[in-house]
Chain A
Amino acid sequence: MQAAAAPGHAHSREIDWPADAQFGRASAGKIAMWIFLVSDGLSFAGLLLAYGILRGESLQWRHPGEPSLGVPFTAGLTFLLICSSVTMVFAYEAALEQRRGRAALFLGLTALGGALFLLGQYSEYFGILHPGLTREGLIFGQSAYASTFYVITSFHGFHVLSGTIYILITLGRWLRRKATAGQVELLGLFWHFVDLVWILVFTIVYLIPTGE
């Protein structure tokens, strides 16, 4: 056991904690990340509940002139996030085995997945090869349909952006041999959470039929 690491270095090495009666060998960092994710999950829950209440009480959810949301394109983005979750678990597996190059490669691929998702979301909002929702008449502040859509998806997009930056920072530290496999696991928890939340957002915001 090396639990007596100096405080300033507590995050720079793996610590073999004694097994806890309740939490087993989960590190303090892992428990802290989970508590953060639960509170972040409650933020999303608040947004999705507000969405449900507004939509459930509305007489007409999508007004004439407002575009419908592109399900096939967004299903592609969903698939992209799922792929990036897989590259993340392989990055963690490689980190555990100290296969440094392989771990770096999979971390890079995961960051690429995040960046492509953000590009896709930009294209959905503002258009790259097609007009984009903002130019098709989905204007923030004009209807609950538009405002809830932008608030929820941009809040999630902000998580993808922060997750991608978090991956790149960890990748940089990994290449300089400053990041541990445990830290890659914490990064993975955050990234999979972003994927998990998207599964719910995709279902609730995009897939539930409007009945119009």
Chain B
Amino acid sequence: MSDPLAHASRARQYLTIFFVLFVLTVLEVAVTYVHGHKLQIVISLFALAAVKAACVALFFMHLKWETRVLRATVVVPLMFPVLYALVLIAEGAWRRLGG
């Protein structure tokens, strides 16, 4: 890891990420108590989870400081299941709409 930050500032950064993850988890649980608006709830939950996952990968797993090629080696293969999920969701919605 070629992290240019000094130890103290890295420790501060880890605690900031911890705080962000904690707040986003509380928000996620709070969102589930909202009634109705199912589509908006689902989209919000996925957005919150994506931000949390990105925080863990970038800061705790140090991907932010790795080379672009290593980042791509990790991220690109994992985008295919996401793409497949989107295709399946679109296909399901299309069938429900009677397409």
A71/B61 contact (C-beta < 8 A), A34-B70, A208-B45 known: no
Q: B89 → chain A, closest Cβ, in Å?
A: 8
Evaluate contact between B73 and A82: CB separation under 8 angstroms: no
Number of interface residues, chain A, beta carbon within 8 A:
51
Interface status of A38 (Cβ within 8 A of chain B): yes
Chain B hits for A52, CB < 8 A: 85, 88-89
Q: B45 → chain A, closest Cβ, in Å?
A: 5
* Nearest A residue to B21, CB-CB: A82
How many residue pairs between the two chains, A and B, have CB atoms under 8 Å in the bound complex? 119
* Bound Cα distance A49, B92 (Å): 13
Evaluate contact between A75 and B49: CB separation under 8 angstroms: no
Evaluate contact between A49 and B29: CB separation under 8 angstroms: no
Chain A hits for B22, CB < 8 A: 79, 82
Evaluate contact between B78 and A93: CB separation under 8 angstroms: no
Interface SS, B side: helix
Q: Considering the complex, which residues of chain A in the window 71-127 have a beta carbon less than 8 Å from any beta carbon of chain B?
A: 71-72, 75, 78-79, 82-83, 85-86, 88-90, 93, 96-97
Interface string of B64-99 (1 = CB under 8 A from A): 001101100110011001001100110010000000
Interface SS, A side: helix
Evaluate contact between A25 and B2: CB separation under 8 angstroms: yes
Q: A18 → chain B, closest Cβ, in Å?
A: 14
* Bound Cα distance A61, B37 (Å): 19
* Bound Cα distance A53, B22 (Å): 30
State the 3 A-B residue pairs at the shortest beta-carbon distance, nearest first: A45-B81, A203-B49, A22-B69
